[in-house]
Every structure is written in C-alpha cells, then in structure tokens.
Amino acid sequence: MPRIKTRVGIVGAGPAGLLLAHLLHLEGIDSVVIESRSRQYIETRLRAGLLEQGSADVMIETGVGERLQRECLRHGGVYIKFRGELKHIDFQDLVGQSVMIYAQQEVVKDLVAARLGYNEPLMFEVGNVAVDGHATGTPSISFTADGKDQAIDCDFIAGCDGFHGICRPSIPAGDIKMFDREYPFAWLGILADAKPTEEELVYAHHERGFALLTMRSPTVTRAYLQVARDEDINQWSDERIWEELALRTAGEGNPLSVGKITQKGITDMRSFACEPMQYGRLFLAGDAAHIVPPTGAKGMNLAIADVRILARALIAYYKSGRTDLLEAYSRTCLKRVWKVQRFSWWVTQLLHRNDQDNDFDLRRQIADIDYLTGSRAGRMTWAENYVGLPMEWD
C-alpha cells in the first residue's frame, strides 16, 4: 500500500482544513489534505456568508485575500427589526470595525487555488477514511483514492472534517465530553436574483417567527425564515416564501425587494461542543469540535480562530521544540468557543419564536430587544461579539 510521509495530516478541506494547510505552508511545514467530496462540490456548497474583520484580515495578511478585498461587501453595521421598527447597530461608531459579506465557497475557492498554486498535496474524493495511532504517538490516516488503499504517516492529525466527520468519533467515549442543544425550529434559506432590501443585513423579530435578510452581491439576496424543525420544503412555493418574508419584515425601511428564487434548502439549528478538542496527537478544529446556530454568523469564523491557534502551536513546536502551546490548544480554543456559544444561543433565543412560550415571554423578548437596540451598552454588546471578540492566545 502506498504510504505518504508528512508532518501534519489534515482530514477535510473546508475553511478549517484549507486555512490550516495554508498557514503551515507559509512557515515551511508540509501537510497533506484529504477531502471526501469533489473539488466542484466544496467550491459550490452554499453556506456561510459573513466574515468577522479578524477572519478577513488573516486571509489578507497571508496573501489569499486579494479577491476578497476586491469583491467583498464591507458592512459597518446591521439592522434589527421588531414591532415594525427598524433599528441600526453601528459597528463603526461603537467598536470601529466592520464585517464582510463574502461567501464561504469563495473563501474555499481562494484557499484551494492557493494550495494547488504552490503544488502542495490536496486530494479530493477519497473514501473509507480512518485515523489511527494518535494515542500512541505514531499517527496515521488510511483511505482509498481512485479505488486504491493509501495511508498517510504523520506527526499530528488535524481533524477538520466537520460535524459528521470521522475524527471526533475516533476519540474513546470516556475521554471526551459532549455538550449539546437542539432547537425546536430550523431555517429555510433562499438565494434570489433580487437587489438587497437594505444595504446592510436585517435581523427581524416577529410573532410569526424570525426572518433574516442578507445578501451575496448588489444583485443577489440571501434570506432565511424560521420554520418548524420537521418542515417539508415542498410546502414552500416561491410565492409563499416571499409572502412570509414580507409579513415578517414589514414596517419601517424599504419594501421587501423580490426576484427569482434560484436555490432553497432547510438547515437544522443546534449548539454543540466537545471537550477537550484534542486527544493524543489528534487535534479537532472547526465544526468537527463545535456547532453554533447560524443566527450569530459565527461557525466559519470560529473554525478560522481554531486553526490560527493550532497553526501557531504547531509552528512553535517545529521551530523551537515547544510543546506548551500544543498542550494548551484545547483550553485556549474553548475560552472563545464558549463565548461564541453563549452569543449564538443568546441571539437565537432573543429573536426566534418558541412554541412553548406564552404572551409573557413574547413581551419579555420584545423588551429585551428594545433594551438591546435602545441602549448604547446593549448595542455595544451586540457589536463587540458580532464583529468578533479579540483573539486570546493562551
């Protein structure tokens, strides 16, 4: 069986795996990335759209942000809509930072192009992936490529294979603790050829449920509607989607801008984290270690923060033999993970309708949003978390 020798074996070519490989390459540390899907699939998968300033800065500072700088939409604030009122949270004024609209698949495209451009190994459509030896100090990854068995022998394995990957389940159950919360609702997401309704995102609270108006470009709208967890997408004609979005976002501001719906899908909402994020020489990063509901726009940003911390620890190990940063990896990441879990949960329960709630809860929720948008301290809390908390390195 052909065996490849490398320093870091990376499972998964999402934002986490690809950025880790890139950061290591810049320091002359070789790695091999394997991905179960095709290049075309990962470059077109419709997912996140919003980058924190810190995430965008990493792309720019490491030479893969040229297209991002040219094509991203820079937003200095967001709108919150409730009781039909449109309130603005001005990040520039509050924290002097912005967020960027730049689709996840564009981040993935830029990182794939960089990796292939410097001719480092990135293998698509691999199968039967399994990790081994991470507890004993001789890690290896076995897989099939073009129907043939292959293996990677490495010093470390980075499990960047998302929530449904194989790395986290390869940690013995007694050595990992899981924290989980499922929400009793889901998001129906659409992409449409429609000019964005406002020039920034609109998070709308409504008795009928939450709605979010976001965008991908000056001519493409992305929008989400809170729906039931077991919702059947076939019950949602284009007309019904626009009607519901119009109802939930009615009031002050521009009338809802409509157009041809080009894609639609339903996503479950969950909060999940595991501790620790490391087992022996296996390090989990991104969705492999944690999931947040998309309301806070944090999942990809958290994946990027994890691999910055992991890359720094691996670089310190290879450059100066230090093991302390690797040993601290999980602890360092989890501080941020739990703050982001808290924020994502908080904005989710703040803005969504919960069928268990009664009228008291609805009034309380509206008062909460009224306070949040009406007080500088409230707006500051949203702004600080939304643009991205500062990195804490240890």
Among the listed residues 293, 294, 329, 352, the single catalytic one is 294
**Closest by CA position to 115, among listed 47, 39, 169:** 39
Can you tell me which residue has the tokens 């998001």? 187
CB of 387 to ligand RFL, least distance (A): 12
Site string for ligand PHB, 260-299 (x = CB under 6 A): ----------------------------------xx-x--
**Identity of the residue, 6 or 214, whose beta carbon is nearer to ligand PHB in the bound complex:** 214
Among 222, 336, 352, 379, binds ligand PHB (CB under 6 A): 222
Query: For this structure, is 75 an active site residue?
Result: yes
What gap in Å lies between CA 36 and CA 288, rounded to an integer? Answer: 14
152 touching ligand PHB, by CB under 6 A? no
CB of 153 to ligand RFL, least distance (A): 17
DSSP state at residue 286? G
**Closest by CA position to 33, among listed 49, 46, 48, 22:** 22
Tokens of 144: 């099939």
**Identity of the residue, 131 or 297, whose beta carbon is nearer to ligand PHB in the bound complex:** 297
Query: For this structure, is 298 an active site residue?
Result: yes
What gap in Å lies between CA 4 and CA 283, rounded to an integer? Answer: 20
**Closest by CA position to 198, among listed 352, 78, 70, 347:** 78
Note whether 287 and 164 are within 8 A (CB): no
The option from ligand RFL, ligand PHB, none interacting with 165 (CB < 5 to 8 A, set by class) reads ligand RFL
CB of 47 to ligand PHB, least distance (A): 7
Residue type, 292: V
**Closest by CA position to 326, among listed 311, 339, 338, 304:** 311
Element (H, E) at 301: helix 299-320
Residues 316-355 interacting with ligand PHB (rule: CB under 6 A): none
Query: For this structure, is 386 an active site residue?
Result: yes
Question: By rule CB under 6 A, what count of residues binds ligand PHB?
Answer: 9
CB of 294 to ligand PHB, least distance (A): 4
Among 50, 73, 266, 310, binds ligand PHB (CB under 6 A): 50
DSSP state at residue 192? E
The option from ligand RFL, ligand PHB, none interacting with 344 (CB < 5 to 8 A, set by class) reads none
**Identity of the residue, 142 or 250, whose beta carbon is nearer to ligand RFL in the bound complex:** 142
CB of 83 to ligand PHB, least distance (A): 21
157 touching ligand PHB, by CB under 6 A? no
For residues 187-202, one letter each, b for 16 or more C-beta atoms within 10 angstroms of the residue's C-beta and e for the rest, the string is: bbbbbbebbbbbebbb
CB of 285 to ligand RFL, least distance (A): 7
Among the listed residues 203, 224, 279, 329, the single catalytic one is 203
Note whether 140 and 153 are within 8 A (CB): yes
**Identity of the residue, 45 or 83, whose beta carbon is nearer to ligand RFL in the bound complex:** 45
Among the listed residues 183, 298, 317, 352, the single catalytic one is 298
196 touching ligand PHB, by CB under 6 A? no
Residue type, 36: S
CB of 210 to ligand PHB, least distance (A): 10
Bridging pattern class, strands 282-284 and 156-159: parallel
CA distance to 68, 180, 280, 392, per residue, from 344 (Å): 25, 13, 30, 19
Note whether 34 and 24 are within 8 A (CB): no
3-state secondary structure of 211: strand
CB of 344 to ligand PHB, least distance (A): 9
Query: For this structure, is 134 an active site residue?
Result: no
Query: For this structure, is 203 an active site residue?
Result: yes
214 touching ligand PHB, by CB under 6 A? yes
Q: How many helices (H) and strands (E) does the chain have?
A: 11, 21
Among the listed residues 75, 87, 205, 206, the single catalytic one is 75
What gap in Å lies between CA 207 and CA 216, rounded to an integer? Answer: 27
**Closest by CA position to 158, among listed 301, 298, 290, 307:** 307
Rule CB under 6 A: which residues touch ligand RFL? Answer: 11-17, 34-37, 42, 47-50, 104, 126, 129, 160-162, 165-166, 187, 189, 267, 286-287, 294, 297-301, 303
The option from ligand PHB, ligand RFL, none interacting with 13 (CB < 5 to 8 A, set by class) reads ligand RFL
Catalytically annotated residues:
75, 203, 294, 298, 386
- Which residues of the shown chain bind ligand PHB in the complex (CB under 6 A)? 48-50, 201, 214, 222, 294-295, 297
